[in-house]
Amino acid sequence: MDADAGKRIITALGILESMSGFLVFLDRDGTIIDEADLLCDPKKLRLIHGAAEGIKLLNSKGVRVAIVTNQPVVARGLCSEDDVKAINSHLLRMLKKESAKIDAVYYCPHHPEKNHPEANDPKYRRECGCRKPKTGMLEEASRRFGIPSDKCFMIGDSTRDVQTARNFNCVSILVKTGYGGNDTKFDAKPDHVCKDLLEAAKLVVSLI
């Protein structure tokens, strides 16, 4: 992952220095919040039932939790990076009200395809090392917390998330919320399938 992207993709709140233990990566849209196509408005955020409880369970076991999310809305010119950060901050506040803590949030604003009509800013319309299924965001979090991939889990609702876990050599858990793995973008089979984030969190706790 290039240095510029590394500076761009992380928005961390209240991160402590690296500790031993386990790290769970969470996709955002369709996993923590309802899938909303091209989300640009914080007011449209809706927590999926049980998501906060699942994160809270991971917190209680000392598991680090990091959101890793592709946000091509930036590359498409539909909203700015500041807008994405505002949405992420609003999400963290919503979770905090439910006593659920996210240790870090990473987002990728890039999109290499140029067939969309909205914008073609070369700053964002390019290949990068952070857009899932590439592993730049996961690598950054792994380094930050000092937790290797064999102690990591990736929870998401798409085959892209499953492929990301495979590329990073960590355990993949597909949840049936959001796309529920029906996107067919990648021929990647998950290690586990769960109903939702809460059920996935319970599985993680049983495995560590």
What's 8's domain CATH number? 3.40.50.1000
Residue 6: per-residue pLDDT: 37
The CA–CA distances, whole Å, from 100 to 31, 67, 97, 180 equal 15, 13, 7, 23
**Amino acid identity, position 163:** Q
Residue 24: per-residue pLDDT: 98
* Of the ranges 19-28, 72-81, 163-172, the best mean pLDDT one: 163-172
pLDDT tens across 140-199, in order? Answer: 999 999 999 999 999 999 999 999 999 999 999 999 999 999 998 999 999 999 999 999
Structure tokens belonging to residue 184: 């067919």
**Which stretches of 98-195 are DSSP H helices?**
136-145, 159-168
Catalytic residue numbers? 27, 29
Say how many domains are in the chain.
1
pLDDT tens across 79-128, in order? Answer: 899 999 999 999 999 999 999 999 999 999 988 876 666 666 778 878 89
Q: Is the pLDDT of residue 26 over 80?
A: yes
Residue 120: per-residue pLDDT: 66
Domain range spanning residue 146?
3-207
Q: How far is residue 56's CA from residue 70's CA, in Å, rounded to a whole number? A: 23
Omega prior to 133 cis, within 30 of 0: yes
Residue 36: per-residue pLDDT: 81
Query: How remote is the C-alpha of 198 from its chain's centroid?
Result: 16
Q: How far is residue 111's CA from residue 102's CA, in Å, rounded to a whole number? A: 25
Q: How far is residue 42's CA from residue 28's CA, in Å, rounded to a whole number? A: 13
Its pTM surpasses 0.95: no
